[in-house]
């Protein structure tokens, strides 16, 4: 009995067990039924969005109802996400995706995260992040097929503002999570946001460290994108692959002012038809806040997908301190306003291409 208790604790990841210790302690294999159940959920959750499509998650099945969530240190952004806030948002989105995927099976999902939630950039092996447990009784959730239909749309929209009823639905959902969603269809503000995003993106990419880290995640040919199944695919970005390659690996070719202006106009033109921008503010001080923000973002994204609305996040404006303050000032946010953690454009348009994802087998760890 004592041996079984020890093994149960090891499988749950209690304490500060490393991956090696967990694997050494696990003395039984999950059944085929257990593997199949979690593989089904993972086949939906693997479509979750993450910063630059890094897909940092891995799953180790323990039983029919238990699994361990790990993050892969080779799939992190130590330079551009030094606090790990936005990668943890991605992990929160992934967890929420598992919850949505489990609902049609009549199952809810309980999560016990690690005590030290911040990601360890010095880690060299997959690192335990949370214990996941399925239980009878589904949590309220949207149709899980939306997990596969959801897209990030970085191309032109058709000029229609987001319907008022959809805007109200989104704002109500954000409030339920303790956050504030603001939306605007003011052409002057939209122009300001699109210009600010363009200027900030190019300013960030002038930084050698940022460009070096992101260059490992750009995919400039269809073959490369399909083979690696991650990162920022040029087809989804709306830019020719050769242009993306040259900008990241031969940035000196774009230092001339006229070249930068031409490239900026092309990028700005790719966002034509934008008639609604939105931003989220709320608790954003701790890893627990970031996980909850991720759950909210995924619910909002799925709700937008249900209404045929696409989303394009403007991460650079949020993470660049100068641009961040410029936006807050333009939006009239006072010093007491909740933290801004997401700015985005919303709209309708043709179905955009979908980025590739790692397979279920890529994401399942040996049990």
Name the CATH topology of 152-347: NADH Oxidase (3.40.109)
Confidence of residue 264 (pLDDT cuts 50, 70, 90): confident
Q: How far from the centroid of its chain's Cα atoms is residue 170's Cα?
A: 18
- CA distance readout (Å), 316 to 86, 196, 200, 322, 323: 12, 9, 6, 10, 8
Q: Give the CA count within 13 Å in the CB-facing half-sphere of 266.
A: 13
What is residue 188's predicted lDDT score, i.e. its pLDDT? 98
CATH of domain 2-146: 3.40.109
| Identical topology for domains 2-146 and 152-347 | yes
What residue ranges do the domains of the chain occupy?
A: 2-146, 152-347
Indicate the DSSP class of residue 163.
P
pLDDT over 90 percentage in the chain: 78
Indicate the burial class of 145 (C-beta count within 10 angstroms; 0-12, 13-18, 19 or more): middle
Model pLDDT, residue 28: 56
Q: What is the pLDDT of residues 20-51, one digit of tens each?
A: 444 433 445 788 888 999 999 999 999 999 99
- Using pLDDT thresholds of 50, 70 and 90, give the confidence band for residue 78: very high
pLDDT one-digit tens code per residue, 204-248: 988 999 999 999 999 999 999 999 999 999 999 988 999 889 888
């Amino acid at each position: 009995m004592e041996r079984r208790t020890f093994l149960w604790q090891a499988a749950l990841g209690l304490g500060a067990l490393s991956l090696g210790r967990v694997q050494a302690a696990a003395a039984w294999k999950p059944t085929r039924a257990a593997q199949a159940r979690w593989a089904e959920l993972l086949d939906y959750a693997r479509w979750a969005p993450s910063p630059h499509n890094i897909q940092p998650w891995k799953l180790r099945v323990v039983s029919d109802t238990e699994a361990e969530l790990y993050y892969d240190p080779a799939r992190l952004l130590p330079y551009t996400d030094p606090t790990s806030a936005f990668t943890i948002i991605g992990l929160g989105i992934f967890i929420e995706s598992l919850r949505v995927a489990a609902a049609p099976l009549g199952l809810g999902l309980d999560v016990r995260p690690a005590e030290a939630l911040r990601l360890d950039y010095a880690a060299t092996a997959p690192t335990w992040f949370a214990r996941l447990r399925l239980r009878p009784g589904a949590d309220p959730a949207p149709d899980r097929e939306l997990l596969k239909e959801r897209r990030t749309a970085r191309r032109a929209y058709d000029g229609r503002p987001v319907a008022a009823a959809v805007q109200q639905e989104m704002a109500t959902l954000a409030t339920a999570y303790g956050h504030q969603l603001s939306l605007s269809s003011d052409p002057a503000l939209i122009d300001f946001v699109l210009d600010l995003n363009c200027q900030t993106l190019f300013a960030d990419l002038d930084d050698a460290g940022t460009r070096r880290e992101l260059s490992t995640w750009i995919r400039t040919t269809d073959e490369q994108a399909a083979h690696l199944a991650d990162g920022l695919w040029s087809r989804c970005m709306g830019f020719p692959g050769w242009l993306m390659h040259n900008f990241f690996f031969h940035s000196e070719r774009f230092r001339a002012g006229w070249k930068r202006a031409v490239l900026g106009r092309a990028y700005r033109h790719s966002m034509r038809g934008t008639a609604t921008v939105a931003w989220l503010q709320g608790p954003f001080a701790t890893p627990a806040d970031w996980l909850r923000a991720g759950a909210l973002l995924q619910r909002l994204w799925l709700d937008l997908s249900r209404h045929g609305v696409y989303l394009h996040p403007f991460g650079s404006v949020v993470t660049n301190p100068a641009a961040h303050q410029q936006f807050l000032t333009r939006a009239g946010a006072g010093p007491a306003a909740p933290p801004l953690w997401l700015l985005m454009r919303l709209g309708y348009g043709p179905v955009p291409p979908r980025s590739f994802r790692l397979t279920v087998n890529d994401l399942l760890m040996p049990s």
